[in-house]
Amino acid sequence: MRKYACLTQQIFGSEKYAIVPLRDQDKYDIMQWRNEQIYHLRQAAPLTTQQQEWYFDKVVAQLFETAKPAQLLFSYLENDTCIGYGGLVHINWTDRHAEISFIMKTSLEKDFFEFHWRTYLSLIEKVAFEELNLHKIFTYAFNLRPHLYVAIEKSNYQLEATLPGHCLFEGKFIDVLIHSKFNDINIRTASETDLMRYFNWTNDEEVRKQSFNSQPVVLENHRQWFLKKIKDPNCLMLVFEDARQQPIGQVRFENNPDKQNSIVGVSIDKSFRGKGLAGQLLTRAVRYFLRENPGYTIEAYIKTENKGSIGAFKNAGFLFTKNLDYQGFETVLYTRRNQ
């Protein structure tokens, strides 16, 4: 299987359905479906075998080696059989948004259109939001298939814009509809403006209780520590915010380059606790970290009594390694390696 250089995870699945990096073996089926459905695609004429082979050899092949490709294309599989394809296209890496593309096997459209669109959207969102941390994804569709809007709106996409008379179709100008969805959780690196936010987080009663040093932190000590850490190349501090830029929590990685490992810690803002978000934050943080540190092992030292934190790390793919005494406390070590 070919792998995208910009992804730490390559296969995104749900039960018997999955998307995988676009497979060469599917190119002729895809060509057939595109030619059968040319009426709703931005494709001027039917594709030939030569054109499809050229596209896969000259365009698709280059996508796998590029750090920030203009598009990421996937085969959509049912039990390892390709029944559709699509991806994220026109990716804007600066503004962190991309257009969604998708077509399915033509024979499935009549009875299974909504099911496959919604299944595919749930998978491509994992790529866009959890893996790439994009801010927004959207569909751009000629106003020819009203049933498409039903499917995407049921997946919580909102009509963002209608472009009246935007495209010429069979001698008539038709509208284009754009439906969008925003990332519920955004990631950024910590900055000096976060100093007091981290101070409040670290002195939170529950955070201090689960820390290996439970004493309150003095502001001046915190200031010196924080300003040093955000400039330390061996420390990665990630802040998570919701779509309204409200702080959800933080994940911090402390690297040991000689041993190729990193110690990770997580905390959730008290206003977002009880929602099962710690595992999601860890999952996204690990993917972010491993893109830059692919060979590292990530270690989590957790007090044995902290069942909630243990559950969060398990949900993020960490595996139990051993019991130990850590700084005078009964502790469990969970680890995660690149998969």
User: What is the percent of the chain where pLDDT is above 90?
Assistant: 81
Q: Is residue 330 part of a domain?
A: yes
Q: How high is the pLDDT of residue 247?
A: 93
Q: Is residue 163 part of a domain?
A: yes
Q: Is residue 104 part of a domain?
A: yes
pLDDT tens profile 115-171: 999 999 999 999 999 899 899 999 999 998 899 999 999 999 999 999 999 988 888
Q: Is residue 239 part of a domain?
A: yes
Cβ(306)–Cβ(210) under 8 Å?
A: yes
| DSSP 8-state assignment for residue 303 | E
Q: How high is the pLDDT of residue 40?
A: 87
Q: How high is the pLDDT of residue 208?
A: 86
Rounded distance between C-alpha atoms, residue 167 and residue 142, angstroms: 8
Interval 74-79 mean pLDDT: 98
Rounded distance between C-alpha atoms, residue 285 and residue 264, angstroms: 10
Give the structural domain span for 236: 185-337
Residues 159 and 285 in one domain: no
DSSP string, 269-299: -GGGTTSSHHHHHHHHHHHHHHHH-TT-EEE
Rounded distance between C-alpha atoms, residue 266 and residue 251, angstroms: 4
Q: pLDDT band at residue 276, thresholds of 50, 70 and 90?
A: confident
Residues 32 and 117 in one domain: yes
Residues 22 and 155 in one domain: yes
User: Which pairs with CB-CB distance under 8 Å and at least 24 residues apart come from 197-202?
Assistant: 197/239, 197/247, 198/222, 198/226, 198/237, 198/250, 199/223, 199/226, 201/249, 201/250, 201/267, 201/269, 202/267
Task: Output the domain CATH number for residue 62.
Answer: 3.40.630.30
Residues 163 and 191 in one domain: no
Domain boundary (140, 166, 182) is at 182
Closest by CA to 50, choosing from 37, 33, 31, 36, is 31
pLDDT tens profile 29-47: 999 999 999 988 888 899 9
Strands 97-104 and 81-92: antiparallel
More confident: 184 or 86 = 86
Interval 202-220 mean pLDDT: 88
Q: How high is the pLDDT of residue 215?
A: 86
E strands along 151-202, which residues?
158-169, 172-182, 185-189
Q: Is residue 2 part of a domain?
A: no
Q: pLDDT band at residue 224, thresholds of 50, 70 and 90?
A: very high
Residues 177 and 247 in one domain: no
Q: pLDDT band at residue 339, thresholds of 50, 70 and 90?
A: low
Q: Is residue 172 part of a domain?
A: yes
Residues 164 and 223 in one domain: no
Residues 37 and 125 in one domain: yes
Residues 323 and 247 in one domain: yes
Interval 241-270 mean pLDDT: 93
Rounded distance between C-alpha atoms, residue 183 and residue 170, angstroms: 37
Residues 31 and 127 in one domain: yes
Residues 136 and 251 in one domain: no
Q: Is residue 326 part of a domain?
A: yes
Rounded distance between C-alpha atoms, residue 47 and residue 38, angstroms: 9
Rounded distance between C-alpha atoms, residue 65 and residue 103, angstroms: 25
Domain boundary (121, 150, 182) is at 182
Task: Give kind and range of the element (H or E) at residue 253.
Answer: strand 247-256
Interval 278-304 mean pLDDT: 92
Who's near 272: CB < 8 A, 6+ residues apart?
248, 249
- What is the count of structural domains for the chain? 2
Domain boundary (153, 182, 211) is at 182
Rounded distance between C-alpha atoms, residue 327 and residue 330, angstroms: 9
Residues 266 and 304 in one domain: yes
Residues 249 and 265 in one domain: yes
Cβ(310)–Cβ(334) under 8 Å?
A: yes
Average pLDDT score, the chain = 94
Q: What are the helix (H) ranges across the chain?
A: 27-36, 49-55, 61-63, 109-125, 146-154, 195-202, 205-210, 219-229, 277-292, 307-315
* Residue type at 60 in one-letter notation: V
